[in-house]
Structure formats: structure tokens, C-alpha cells
Amino acid sequence: MVNSTYQYTQTLLGTTVSLILIEPNETVAQVVFDTITQLENRLTVNRPISEVMLINLAAGEHSVVVSRSVFSLIEQAQKVSLYPDSCFNFAIGPLVKLWKIGFKGDRVPTEEQIKQQLLLTDPKDIVLNPEDHSIFLTKRGMEIDLGAIAKGYIADVVRLILHQHNIDQAIINLGGNVLTLGQSPLNDDGYWHVGLRKPFSVTNELAGIIKVKNKSVVTSGIYERFFIQNDRLYHHIFDPLTGYPLDNEFESVTVISNSSLEGDIYSTFLYGLGLERGRDFLKKHQHLSAVFLLKNKTIVLINSENFSFLLLDKQYAMSFS
């Protein structure tokens, strides 16, 4: 069993990105961080210019040709956005900018403002041309936002880089998106230990530890970005039908999957389904597993054969499905 690891960190993607290796390798760490920087520059909507921003700036006017990788990611985002009852919506940009949750100036908009922005959030109004990799937002004011999917995609790219450098034991943390490679040499059981945050804990307490091998762990929670107005909490996971934050039994949804992109997609998708429909969906998709933290302090584990869970906070009751 290895007793020490080597951690490399940089501030990227609006968070602290860390790479943990079993043996020191400054060269690989630099390749990883340089790649993340390049991908962030292509995908971000928080800077004046990126490939995605060029698409948004041309909304209602003309199509924009993008790189093959960006086109492929947008193609996947549109596919999931068009699932029946999906609250994953990559065309949600106008609503995100209206509410500004997690940014300066957040507020509850008027119903009329929300209705107006909802007219600009239909993923069917985005035309993809696979022949020339062009994207066209057909209405002026439409905006793509890949914030719910970009970290997962980037984590999977990092895994490819590590494999190319013959590294098969590592852990990548992109701030909420954790991807583990192989078995952990740190623990006798071979599991990597990934902490599950207790929602709204000011000291970052853990509700439990998710133990995985060669899996991705992605969490979406209402405590990540929110504000409170008139004693009501408004968080960043929107209902694409109403334009308001979703209100159901969840405080957080964690997905354990083979790829981090899947984790990004399905943590949001399952949050929108709610407990019963989310459980039914997972029973039909056994390659995905989930940990649901409910507002009533219950932790529900679904398809738990793909991971192990250690409860740390005795406030929670455990349930298995």
C-alpha cells in the first residue's frame, strides 16, 4: 500500500482543480492544466470571446463553424436536452443571465421577464449541421450554456491524457466532478474515497464517503449556488418549463458512472425527475448509480453494487433501492 501521493493544483474553471498522482510527474501535470485551460477558453460563456460565445453573439443572424470537439459536445448536449421531461437544457443561457444566481446582482425576476426569456430557451431552435460543424441559434437573444456539461467532458479528456502517459492510478477533481483511475493504492480495499458534502454546511462537513474504483462521481446540489429572498431559497437548477428553480425532495443528487460526462448529464437530469421517477430511470439503466440526499435527511442509494458508501453524519437515515 502506498503511503504518500503527489498533488498538483491550479485555479481553473472557476474552482480549484487538483490532480493526485502516485508518483511525481510535473510534466504530465502541466500538460493536464494546459489542456484544461485550452478547453475552458473554447467552452466558457464567462469571457467576451470563446467558441461558444461566438455562437451566442451570432444568434438570429448566421451560423458559426466550430471545432469538431465543441460540435460533438454541443450535439450531445442537445440530445439530452430533448429527452422527454428533461430539466437538462443547454439553451438555458438567457434564464441563467436573468437570474444571475451565483453572480453579483442575483434577484427574483418578474413573471413577465421570465416568460420573455423562456421563449429563447427551446433546444429545438438550435440547428446543428454535422457536415461543416456549424451551429445556428435561430432567434436573436438565444444563448448556449455548457456549464452543466463542460467539467464532465474536460475530466474525461484529462483521463485520456493520463492513459496516454501510461498513468493508470490517479484522481482528478474539477470541483464537484471527481474522476478516479484504476484502483487506489492508498487503501487496502483498493477503493478511492470521495467525500459527499453535507448540504449547506459552512465548514464543509461530510455526510458520507463514496468509495469507488475506476469511476466518476459527480454531484449536483441546491447548496452550490443559491440566494435567499423573503425567506425562500432560490438555487441554480432550473425547471425549463417554468423558468423557476426546481422544487422537489432533493438537496443533492450524486451520480456514479463510467464517464464524468455521463455524471454531469445525469446528475442534472435525475434531479429534475425527482425521487420516484429518478429511481425508476436508474432501475432501467443499471450502469448508472446514484446517491440521493433528501430534504427529510434520508440518503437513498440506488444500484449500489457499483460503489460502497460510508455514512458519517448520523442525522441521516439510510435507504437502499
What local confidence, expressed as pLDDT, does residue 140 receive?
98
* pLDDT surpasses 90 at 3: no
The domain at 191-320 falls in which architecture? Roll (3.10)
Give the mean pLDDT of 237-249. Answer: 94
Number of other CB atoms surrounding residue 128 within 10 Å: 15
Q: What is the pLDDT of residue 321?
A: 81
Domain boundaries, the chain: 51-137, 191-320
Length of the chain: 321
In tens, the pLDDT along 40-74 reads: 999 998 888 899 999 999 999 999 999 999 999 99
Q: What is the pLDDT of residues 78-87, one digit of tens each?
A: 999 999 889 9
DSSP 22-64: SS--HHHHHHHHHHHHHHHHHH-SSSS-SHHHHHHHTTTT--E
DSSP lists the bridge partners of residue 300 as 292, 319
Specify whether the CB–CB gap between 286 and 307 falls below 8 A: no
Q: CA 125, CA 233: separation in Å to the nearest integer?
A: 31
The predicted pLDDT at position 1 comes to: 66
Mean pLDDT on 230-242:
93
> Looking at the domain covering 51-137, what would its CATH class be?
mainly alpha
% of the chain exceeding 90 in pLDDT: 90
Say which residues have a Cβ less than 8 Å from residue 219's Cβ, sequence separation at least 6. Answer: 176, 196, 197, 252, 253, 254, 255, 267
* pLDDT tens digits for range 156-182: 999 999 999 999 999 999 988 999 999
Secondary structure of residue 204 in the 3-state scheme: coil
pLDDT per residue as tens digits for the range 92-141:
999 999 999 988 899 999 999 999 999 999 999 999 999 999 999 999 99
